[in-house]
């Protein structure tokens, strides 16, 4: 309920202006975001890799409203990939990139899907040249068909183009079955958006049960599963299911967000698992941050206290 309210309130332009201008917000942002620039992203990537972690970088921003901005976001990814390559981070896919389809044009009033597909193809071309991969984030539920269509269209040319599936959606088990049969790279998460009961499970236990059904589909199929969760129970179930499915440690990976359960990230990596950290950077952090706050009331309390105490 609080999560739902939080996501709804955060859509207000006035609240966004107030929060993004408050200097104290930056302390909280720094916990979840590498920084504003490519230099910041490169420095944190280096530090994570030194700890034996893999990385996926996200240039913050979503719901781009004009084609020029969408093209500029694609260019940002291309130059990021060049810098990651020069620093040796893309070797073997150690660092890859995650792209929000609405950041590269999916939500444009005209030709949104075509624009997003073209921009994603440009980024995927740069990633292939760098020896690494691209994964498409999943946003609001009414975008899922478009994103899956873009991925399916482009996989002929870029077989490694991955996508995210959110277990809170009722359709996701069947999407996982289809993607697993097509040997796709799939990042499975619970879902950070809000949707009504006709399309989504609204009870957290149902979302978790759906996650387990989805992860079984992915681990049992021929694709590459990327299990994105910080939930200790689901991490344990994933490990056990991978053993049952006969999957060696290098044939799937765990993924977590930068700043969340870092000790668990290191523990899993030290146990021999592949662990990838989702690392956002850029100045357009508001949407990302509000989803992190909505996931956890304790984060919200800390954030509100920092806004009102003036520190």
The three-class DSSP label of residue 182 is: coil
Q: Please say whether the beta carbons of 267 and 52 come within 8 A.
A: no
Q: How far apart are CA 111 and CA 170, in angstroms?
A: 28
C-beta nearest to ligand FDA: residue:
230
In 131-259, which ranges are continuous DSSP H helix? Answer: 144-155, 172-181, 204-220, 232-244
Q: Please say whether the beta carbons of 276 and 51 come within 8 A.
A: no
Closest CB to ligand FDA among 122 and 291? Answer: 291
257 binds ligand FDA (CB under 6 A): yes
217 binds ligand FDA (CB under 6 A): no
Single residue of 296, 297, 304, 305 touching ligand FDA by CB under 6 A:
296
| Tally of CA atoms within 13 A in the half-sphere of 278 that contains its CB | 27
Selected range binding ligand FDA among 47-55, 214-222, 279-287, 293-301, rule: CB under 6 A:
293-301
Q: Please say whether the beta carbons of 214 and 173 come within 8 A.
A: yes
By rule CB under 6 A, what string of x and - marks binding of each residue 125-164 to ligand FDA?
------------xx-------------------------x
261 binds ligand FDA (CB under 6 A): yes
Q: CB of residue 301 vs ligand FDA: minimum separation in angstroms? A: 12
Single residue of 10, 16, 125, 299 touching ligand FDA by CB under 6 A:
299
7 binds ligand FDA (CB under 6 A): no
Nearest to 251 by CA among 281, 279, 218, 300: 218
Q: Please say whether the beta carbons of 57 and 80 come within 8 A.
A: yes
Q: Please say whether the beta carbons of 300 and 292 come within 8 A.
A: no
Single residue of 102, 166, 210, 265 touching ligand FDA by CB under 6 A:
166
Closest CB to ligand FDA among 7 and 82? Answer: 7
Helix, strand, coil fractions of the chain, as percent rounded to 5: 55, 15, 30
49 binds ligand FDA (CB under 6 A): no
Question: In this structure, what token pair is assigned to residue 243?
Answer: 């053993």
Which residues have a catalytic role annotated? 137, 187
194 binds ligand FDA (CB under 6 A): no
- Length of the chain as a residue count: 311
Site residues for ligand FDA per CB under 6 A: 137-138, 164, 166, 187, 189-193, 228-231, 255-257, 260-261, 278, 292, 295-296, 299
């Amino acid at each position: 309920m609080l999560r739902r309210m939080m996501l709804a309130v955060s859509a207000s332009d006035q609240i966004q202006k107030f929060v993004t201008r408050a200097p104290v917000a930056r302390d909280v942002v720094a916990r979840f975001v590498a920084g504003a620039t490519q230099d910041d992203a490169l420095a944190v990537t280096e530090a994570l890799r030194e700890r034996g972690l893999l990385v996926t970088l996200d240039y913050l921003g979503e719901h781009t409203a004009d084609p020029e901005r969408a093209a500029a976001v694609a260019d940002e990814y291309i130059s990021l990939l060049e810098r990651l390559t020069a620093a040796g981070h893309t070797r073997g896919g150690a660092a890859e990139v995650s792209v929000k389809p609405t950041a590269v044009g999916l939500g444009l009033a005209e030709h949104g899907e075509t624009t997003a597909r073209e921009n994603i193809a440009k980024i995927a071309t740069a990633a292939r040249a760098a020896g690494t991969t691209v994964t498409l984030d999943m946003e609001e539920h009414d975008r899922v068909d478009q994103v899956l269509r873009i991925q399916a269209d482009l996989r002929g040319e870029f077989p490694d183009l991955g996508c995210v599936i959110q277990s809170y959606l009722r359709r996701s088990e069947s999407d996982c079955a289809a993607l697993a049969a097509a040997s796709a790279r799939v990042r499975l998460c619970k879902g950070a958006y809000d949707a009504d009961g006709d399309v989504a499970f609204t009870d957290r236990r149902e979302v978790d049960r759906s996650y387990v059904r989805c992860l079984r589909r992915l681990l049992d199929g021929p694709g590459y599963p990327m299990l994105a969760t910080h939930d200790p129970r689901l991490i344990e179930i994933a490990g056990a299911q991978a053993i049952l499915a006969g999957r060696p440690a290098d044939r799937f990976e765990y993924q977590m967000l930068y700043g969340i359960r870092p000790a668990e990230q290191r523990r899993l990596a030290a146990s021999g698992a592949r662990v990838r950290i989702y690392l956002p950077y850029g100045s357009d952090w508001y949407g990302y941050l509000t989803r992190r706050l909505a996931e956890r009331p304790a984060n919200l309390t800390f954030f509100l206290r920092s806004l009102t105490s003036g520190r």
